[in-house]
Structure 1
Amino acid sequence: MKNILINSKFCFGPMSKNIVDTLIEFSNNTQIPVTFIPSRRQVEWNGGYVNNWTTETFTKYVKSKSKYIAIQRDHGGPGQGLYDDDGYESLKYDCKYFDAIHIDPWKKYPDFDDGLKWTVDVLKFCYNENPNLYFEIATEEAIRKFSAEEIERLLHKVKHQFDKRIFERILFCVIQSGTSLKDGINTGKYNSNRLVKMLNVVKTYQKLSKEHNGDYMDKDIMIDRFNTGLDSLNIAPELGVFETKLFLKYLKNNNDQENVDLFYELCYNSGKWKKWVSDDFNPEKNKEKLIEICGHYVFSSKKIQNLKKGINKYICEQLYDNFTKTFN
């Protein structure tokens, strides 16, 4: 799995079963390595919002259908699940079934020394559970902003906590050059100088660089990041929004306002949209926008599943074309 992990230029969130199935088909047809990056809310040991998959059932589903896909837990650790916890129950299952784990205590422990301690402790736990695992450390700007100096300090401290054999299991370090997601757009301000500084630090420690929140990114800016030396980019919410827009358009084209209203009600009541909108966002005045941002969270609803049956094939075809464009 190491070769797939390190050669995955893009890592994708499994935002829906259609997205998972389409990426499986795409990877099988092209033999392009792909990494799925399920968050704890999407796929969890006791079930997530994506197709109600558990860590075990999701892994078995994907692995039974493609040999070109790796699975890495995204944002593994404390405070990253549906409820506040220390993350260890979830990590036990991640260690058993996944290929790699992104260790991310920084949401709950933003203080550097606290976050460092948790990074080290979780890494020790996971390695003891499964010495064949690979890891990613640090986090995205939306959770906790890092300077190049702090990234250097983090890598230095972690390196001196472990012997070489364990430190080499850390494949990726998250870098930050300006990404942020709000209202369905990338609001980050790209800073190429900051990118270069962070890349130099990561390379010094012989790690690969990864940036999160690559959604809705201008193509030229994305290309510049890779040309500058970025190794990998995470994309997740954009895929869910893409599928939601197709489904919403399908309902509107069929003049099915009743089910558009149902879709809105399910989205609004889920509360999942709140994370992705600005403080002045007005749900009543932006119903379609709310649906677009939040729709994928309720795809597993029986009502939505029944409504989508007639369009799933078309959605998968459009998703396939979208992935083809992403890699070209």
Structure 2
Amino acid sequence: MIRHTFERILASRRTLLGVGPMSQNCVDATIELANEYEIPIFLVASRRQIDSEAFGGGYVNNWTTEEFSRYVIDKDKKGKVILARDHGGPWQNTMESLYGLSLRRAMESAKLSFRADIDAGFQVLHIDPSVDIHGDPSADEILDRVFELYEYCWSYAQSQGNKILFEIGTEQQSGGVNMLNDLHYTLSSVLKFCKKTNVPLPLFVVVQNGTKVMETRNIGSFDQSIRVANELSPEIQMPKLVELCKDFNIFMKVHNTDYLSDESLIWYPRLGIHAANVAPEFGIVETKALLEIMHKNSLHRHAERFNEIAFNSRKWEKWVLDAQRTSDNDKSIIAGHYVFSSQEFIELKKEVTHALAASGIHLDAYLKASVKASIMRYLRNFRLVRSS
């Protein structure tokens, strides 16, 4: 049923949107837009953002998989939001890396997380075993891991009477574009596996289209006027990759679409890209809106305290290109959404909410509106919503 809905939408050259659940306001904004415009929008939760109770939940609203799913399903009155796991697989949860789990233990851990997703009613599972803290696995080794997790999840879902769809990814985002031969090998291998084990083809395959997010910008080749040496430009290469996906009856999805210009985004449906994920940008938008409203209302001390909490979390470390050249303020903005659920921030937010309420400002409504505006930019450029 879901696949048929997507086929109907994509037949008119549109691109589906996956939103990373960066905060409760971001989740609420997504649900409200999906219901208002009656369009499907994916909520794509990474294991760091949302995970099962066995893994201590995630940093987004301190939700476990079960709590997150229940919250979305209850609020999604028209059933338009698609619950999806993003980057499910071994070592995709901080605990698995922190404890240095072996491959076998990490795979068992990933299966436990996937089981919780299926039990909670997730509809799409992204199987991504591209991370390996012990080495650099070959393409065939990664595919073997994909197939093991794929068959496990399908069998478990069948035993529980649950319907699920799959998204597969076999490499980390590089900022370049997939080679045609590499994608053909992946899709051919997947087709053989599905026929052999009698499991359905995946809904999506993740394709590199020249995007990569660092700091608060996209540094990949897709949005650049200067092309990468020895690489065909995305607008030349992407139609070939799209056609290849069509040949295998698998939709193409791209990640790291954050911060692209409107001029680049309008090319997504034109090129035939079926779906795209956006996540950090929405967290940054909410963080900037929070700082802006505090400074506009002379809550400078509170803004400074927020910057201190965010900076001290050091969650900016994985995102900065050069720590010495990036200002402390920028680091705080990058890390801001990671601390929204910390006790320190919750107490600070109560003070800010109370102070703003005295001026007739509802803080969460203001923040949610800012995130909504950012999500709408993608919905319009992807032709899911008509431009006014």
Q: Which stretch of structure 1 is more off in the superposition, 86-95 or 136-145?
A: 136-145
Q: What does residue range 310-325 of structure 1 map to in structure 2 within 5 Å?
A: 310=356, 311-325=363-377
Alignment-derived partner of residue 128 in structure 2: 104
* Deviations 1:267-318, CA, capped at 9 Å, x for gaps: 22322111111034446xx122112211000001233234253411111223
- Cα distance in 2 for partners of 1:5, 1:74 equals 18
Equivalent residue number for residue 294 of structure 2:
251
Contact 1:103 1:137 in 2 (8 A): yes
Residues 1-328 of structure 1 correspond to what in structure 2 (within 5 A)?
2-3=2-3, 7=9, 9-46=16-53, 47-66=57-76, 67-83=79-95, 84=97, 85-86=106-107, 87-97=110-120, 98-108=122-132, 110-131=137-158, 132-139=163-170, 141-142=172-173, 146-163=178-195, 166-190=198-222, 191-282=234-325, 286-306=327-347, 307=349, 309=353, 310=356, 311-328=363-380
Query: How many angstroms apart in 2 are the aligned matches of 1:251 and 1:188?
Result: 33
Measure, in 2, the Cα distance between the counterparts of 1:30 and 1:164. 41
Match of 2:384 in 1: none
Q: Structure 1 residues 166 and 68 mapped into 2: Cα distance closer, same or farther (>3 Å)?
A: farther
- What amino acid is aligned across from residue 142 of structure 2 in structure 1? G
**Structure 1 stretches of 5 or more lacking a match?**
none
> For structure 2, which runs of at least 5 residues remain unmatched after alignment?
10-14, 98-105, 223-233, 357-362, 381-388
Q: Which segment drifts farther, 251-260 or 110-119? A: 251-260
1:90 partner letter:
S
Question: Counterpart amino acid of 2:333?
Answer: E
Judging changes above 3 Å, is the alpha-carbon distance between structure 1 residues 35 and 164 closer, same or farther for their aligned structure 2 residues?
Answer: farther
For these two proteins, the number of residue pairs brought into alignment is: 326
- The AA in structure 1 aligned to 2:339 is V
Kindly provide the amino acid, as one letter, of the partner of residue 104 in structure 1: D
Mapped partners of 2:65, 2:170: distance in 1: 22
CA distance in 1, matches of 2:316, 2:372: 26
Please report how far the alpha carbon of residue 325 of structure 1 lies from its aligned counterpart in structure 2 after TM superposition: 3.3
Change (3 A) 1:49 1:203: same
Q: Closer, same or farther in 2 for the Cα pair 1:187/1:166, shift >3 Å?
A: farther
Give me the identity figure in percent.
32
Letter in 2 for 1:106: S
Superposition deviation, residue 253 in structure 1: 2.3
- Judge conservation of contact 2:143–2:170 (CA < 8 Å) in 1: no
Distance (Å, rounded) in 2 between the aligned partners of 1:110 and 1:248: 43
Query: Aligned equivalents of 1:95 and 1:148: distance in 2?
Result: 33
Larger radius of gyration: 2
What code does the residue aligned with 1:79 have?
W
CA distance, structure 2, for counterparts of residue 74 and residue 182 of structure 1:
18
Taking structure 1 as the reference length, what is the TM-score of the superposition? 0.92
Cα distance in 1, alignment partners of residues 198 and 60 from structure 2: 32
Which residue is equivalent to 2:227? Answer: none
What per-residue deviation string (whole Å, max 9, x for no partner) do you get for residues 194-223 of structure 1?
A: 212321221110110110011001111111
TM-score normalised by length of structure 2: 0.79
Which digits, 9 at most, give the CA deviation of each residue in 1:127-158, with x for residues without a partner? 01103210011256526974221111111112
The CA distance in 2 between the partners of 1:167 and 1:281, in whole Å, is 50
| Structure 2 counterpart of 1:53, one-letter code | W
CA distance in 2 between counterparts of 1:37 and 1:313 reads 23
The farther-off stretch of 125-134 and 274-283 is 274-283
**Residue 168 of structure 1: CA displacement?**
3.0
Greater Cα offset, 141-150 or 57-66: 141-150
- In 1: Cα distance, 2:116 partner to 2:157 partner: 11
Q: State the match for 2:101 in structure 1.
A: none
Assess, with a 3 A threshold, how the Cα gap between structure 1 residues 201 and 186 changes in structure 2: closer, same or farther: same
